[in-house]
Amino acid sequence: MTPYALAAALFTLGLGGMVLLPNLVRKLLAMNVMQVAVIVFFIALATKDGGRVPILEPGETEAIAADFMNPLPHTLMLTAIVVSVATTGLALGLLIRIWRQYGSLDERILLSRLRGSGDDATRHGAGDDATRHGAGEPPR
């Protein structure tokens, strides 16, 4: 029960953070909290009373299903963790791009700049300049 409640609490916190926090970096962190909720949930599903870690001792050949934790959720979450690292990196890349274009990561400021004054968004213009140049060269 307790791990499920923890997963529910983390999921609620993460969802609330994603919807309510104005700063995009905080939204990203809230999304990571939601991912942790899913991971906790899956790992809780994998446990068995009296089960041990799903790794055999050297020389052990026979295994009975009731003696071991379920390896399948562990496998799924292992890849999920690494995928979440990679997608977080991708999201950070997007945030840098947004910062460069609009000079802010605050949702309210971004929305006002997207709606109205186009001149505000392009005043600094660094992002526009950069797109005209080729991307083929390595950084130094």
Partner 1 sequence: MKARLRAAAAALILGGLFVGLLAGVRDLPPIGDPSSPASTHVSPRFIEEARRETGALNMVTAVLADYRGYDTLGETAVIFAAGLGAFVILAASIGGPRRETPGPGLSHRVDSLLLDTAARVLAPFLLLFAVYVLVHGHVSPGGGFQGGVLFGLGLVTLRLVWGPPRPDRAASRFGPGVRASFLLASAGLLAYIAIGIAAMAFGGAFLDYGVLPLGQDPAHVRELATLGVEAAVFVAVSGTVAVLFETIAVGVAETGRPLPNEDPAPVEAREEG
Question: Coil, helix or strand for 81?
Answer: helix
Q: Which is nearer to partner 1, 32 or 70 (CB)?
A: 70
Does the footprint of partner 1 cover residue 94 (CB under 8 A)?
Answer: yes
Q: Which is nearer to partner 1, 11 or 35 (CB)?
A: 11
**CA gap 34, 14 in Å, rounded:** 5
Residue 73: CA count within 13 A, CB half-sphere: 15
Cβ burial, residue 37 (10 Å; 0-12/13-18/19+): buried
Does the footprint of partner 1 cover residue 119 (CB under 8 A)?
Answer: no
Binders of partner 1 among residues 21 to 80 (CB under 8 A) are: 22-23, 44-51, 53-58, 60-66, 68, 70-75, 78-79
Q: Which is nearer to partner 1, 108 or 114 (CB)?
A: 108
